[in-house]
């Protein structure tokens, strides 16, 4: 299974939506809560240059974007392959 990572903040509805989508796909993911900033926020900005919002979803290190991007990819039929489904 690919490694799925998601950067989130507390109280972020798009983050909940993205996690719900991943949960529906049945994939495990690592969540990094960057509500308080810190090194994980810096890491996100390094891995996803220009990221202005959360969530940010990465699969095997590839940045897929936020919820809108990931759900659009799913509608286009491209998400399952990225997730190894």
Ligand X SMILES: N[C@@H](CCC(=O)N[C@@H](CS)C(=O)NCC(=O)O)C(=O)O
Residues at the site binding ligand X, with contacts judged by CB under 6 A: 9, 12-14, 53-55, 66-68
Nearest distance, CB of residue 77 and ligand X, angstroms: 19
| Least spacing, CB of residue 3 vs ligand X, in Å | 20
The sign of the dihedral angle between the CA atoms of 34, 27, 73, 84 is positive
> Buried b vs exposed e over 39-66: b needs ≥16 C-beta within 10 Å?
eebeebeeebeebeebbbbbbeeebbbb
Helices (H), 26-66: 39-47
Q: How far is the CB of 7 from ligand X (least distance, A)?
A: 10
Residue 67 or 83: the one with the smaller Cβ distance to ligand X is 67
Residue corresponding to tokens 């049945």 = 26
- Residue 6 or 27 having the CB closest to ligand X: 6
């Amino acid at each position: 299974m690919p490694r799925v990572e998601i950067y989130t903040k507390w109280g972020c509805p798009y983050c909940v939506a993205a996690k719900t989508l991943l949960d529906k796909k049945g994939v495990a993911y690592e969540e990094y809560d960057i509500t308080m900033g810190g090194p994980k926020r810096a890491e996100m900005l390094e891995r996803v240059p220009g990221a202005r919002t959360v969530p940010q979803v990465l699969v095997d290190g590839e940045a897929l974007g936020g919820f809108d991007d990931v759900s659009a990819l799913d509608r286009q039929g491209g998400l399952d392959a990225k997730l190894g489904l």
